[in-house]
Amino acid sequence: MCILARYHLLPSSLVLLILLVACSMGCIQSIACKPRIRRENIVVYEVSASIDQCPTIIEENSPIVLRYKTPYFRASAGVVMPPVPRNETWVVGWIQACTQMEFYNTYGDIGMSSWELPELREGRVKAISDSDGVSYPWYGNTTETVTLTGPTSKPSRLTVSMNDNFYPSVTWAVPISNSNTPMLTHITRDQSFITWLVAMNSVTKQRIVLQ
Tens of pLDDT along 151-201? 999 999 999 999 999 999 999 999 888 888 999 999 999 999 999 999 999
* Phi, psi dihedral angles at 120 (to 5 degrees): -75, -45
Average pLDDT value for the chain: 85
pLDDT at 17: 34
Distance, CA of 159 to CA of 143 (rounded, Å): 8
Amino acid type, 47 = V
DSSP 22: H
pLDDT at 8: 36
Q: What is the separation, in whole angstroms, between the first and last Cα of the chain?
A: 65
Distance, CA of 90 to CA of 158 (rounded, Å): 12
Distance, CA of 13 to CA of 49 (rounded, Å): 65
Distance, CA of 81 to CA of 62 (rounded, Å): 49
The 10s digit of each residue's pLDDT in 44-96 is 999 999 999 999 999 999 999 999 999 999 999 999 999 999 999 999 999 99
How open is the CA angle 71-133-56, to the nearest 5 degrees? Answer: 10
- Name the residue among 81, 77, 79, 45 with its Cα closest to residue 155: 81
Buried b (16+ CB within 10 A) or exposed e, 94-111: bbbbeeebebebbbeeee
Judged by DSSP in three states, 23 sits in helix
Radius of gyration of the chain (CA): 29
Say if residue 10's pLDDT is above 70.
no
